[in-house]
A and B are shown apart, each in its own frame.
Chain A
Amino acid sequence: LTGTETEDPPAKVSRRKWQAFQHFCAFGTRFVLRSNRDAVLPTLLNQLPLGSSLISADAACKPHHAYSIVFAPESDFSATINRDGRRIAICSSQADLVNVFSHEVTNQIAKSARDRVVIHCGVVTWHGKAILLPGRSTHGKTTLVTRFLEAGATYYSDEFALLDGDGLVHPYARPLQVRMQKGSLVQTQVPVEQIRGLGGIGKDPASAAMLLACRFREGARWRPVEISRGAAALELTRHCTSANRFPQNAFHATTQAVSHLRAWRGWRGEGKDVVEWALNLLNAEV
Chain B
Amino acid sequence: LNTPCRTCLTRRISKTQTNFTMNKQATFPLRRNSSSLVEKEMAGELMIFDPSTRKSTCLNHSAALVWHNSDGQTSVSELAAIVASKTGTPEDTRVIEFALRKLDEAGLMEKVDLPANEDAGLARRQLFTKLGWAAALLIGMPLVLTVKANARPAVSV
Q: Chain A binding site: helix, strand, loop or mixed by DSSP?
A: helix
A251 surroundings in chain B (CB, below 8 A): 38, 40, 47, 49, 56
Give Cα distance in the complex from A229 to B46, angstroms.
Answer: 10
- Residues B157 and A100 in contact, CB atoms below 8 Å apart: yes
Quick one: which of A136, A230, A250 has the most chain B CB within 10 A? A230
Docked pose: A100 CA to B155 CA in angstroms? 11
Known: A230-B58, A259-B42. A118 touches B145 (CB 8 A): no
| Interface: A99 (CB within 8 A) | yes
Q: Say yes or no: A110 contacts B154, CB within 8 Å.
A: yes
Tell me the bound Cα distance from A111 to B149 in angstroms.
12
With contact pairs A238-B147, A247-B54 given, residues A229 and B45 touching in the complex (Cβ less than 8 Å): yes
- Considering only residues 24-78 of chain B, those with a C-beta below 8 Å from chain A are 38, 40, 42-43, 45-47, 49, 51, 54, 56, 58-60
* Nearest CB of chain A from residue B106's CB, rounded to whole Å: 12
Contacts of A228 in B (CB 8 A): 43, 45, 58, 60
Encoded as 1 (CB less than 8 Å from any A CB) or 0, chain B from 122 to 154 comes to 000000000000000000000001110111111
Against B, the Cβ 8 Å flags (1 = close, 0 = not) of A150-162 are: 0000000001100
A256 to B40, CA, bound (A): 10
Query: Which one of B47, B51, B54, B152 lies within 8 Å of A233 (CB-CB)?
Result: B47
Nearest to A99 among chain B residues (CB) is B157
Q: Mark A217-254, 1 if CB is under 8 A from B, else 0.
A: 00000000000111101100111111111011011001
Which residues from chain B contact A241 at a C-beta distance below 8 Å? 151-152, 154
Which one of B47, B59, B155 has the highest number of Cβ atoms from chain A below 10 Å of its Cβ? Answer: B155
CB distance from B41 to the nearest CB of A (A): 10
User: How many A residues are at the interface, by size bracket?
Assistant: 35 or more
User: Closest residue to B64 on the A side, CB-wise?
Assistant: A230
A244 and B157: CB pair below 8 A?
Answer: no
B155→A106 contact, CB < 8 A? yes
Which of A136, A160, A234 has a CB less than 8 Å from the CB of B56?
Answer: A234
Please name all residues of chain B whose beta carbon is closer than 8 Å to the beta carbon of A243 when the two chains form the complex: 54, 149-151
B58 vs chain A, min Cβ distance (A): 3
Q: Is A231 in contact with B58, judged by CB distance below 8 angstroms?
A: yes
Say yes or no: B56 contacts A233, CB within 8 Å. yes
Contact status A245-B151, CB under 8 Å: yes
Question: CA–CA, A22 to B64, complex, Å?
Answer: 51
CA distance A237 to B58 in the complex (A): 12
Which residues on B sit within 8 Å (CB–CB) of A189?
A: none
Does A185 reach chain B (CB closer than 8 Å)? yes
Contact B155 A230 (CB under 8 A): no
| Distance in Å: Cβ of A159 to nearest Cβ of chain B | 7
CA distance A233 to B45 in the complex (A): 11
Task: Indicate with 1 or 0, residue by residue over A2-15, a CB within 8 angstroms of chain B CB atoms.
Answer: 00000000000000
Chain A residues lying within 8 Å of B23, measured Cβ to Cβ, are none
Chain B residue nearest in CB terms to A241: B154
Q: Other than A103-B155, A229-B43, give 10 A-B pairs with Cβ distance below 8 A.
A: A118-B154, A160-B154, A185-B156, A187-B156, A230-B47, A237-B56, A237-B149, A241-B151, A243-B150, A251-B49
Cross-chain pairs A/B with CB under 8 angstroms, 12 sampled: A103-B155, A106-B155, A107-B153, A111-B151, A111-B154, A229-B43, A234-B145, A237-B147, A244-B54, A247-B56, A255-B47, A259-B42
Chain B residues close to A by CB (< 8 Å) = 38, 40, 42-43, 45-47, 49, 51, 54, 56, 58-60, 145-147, 149-157
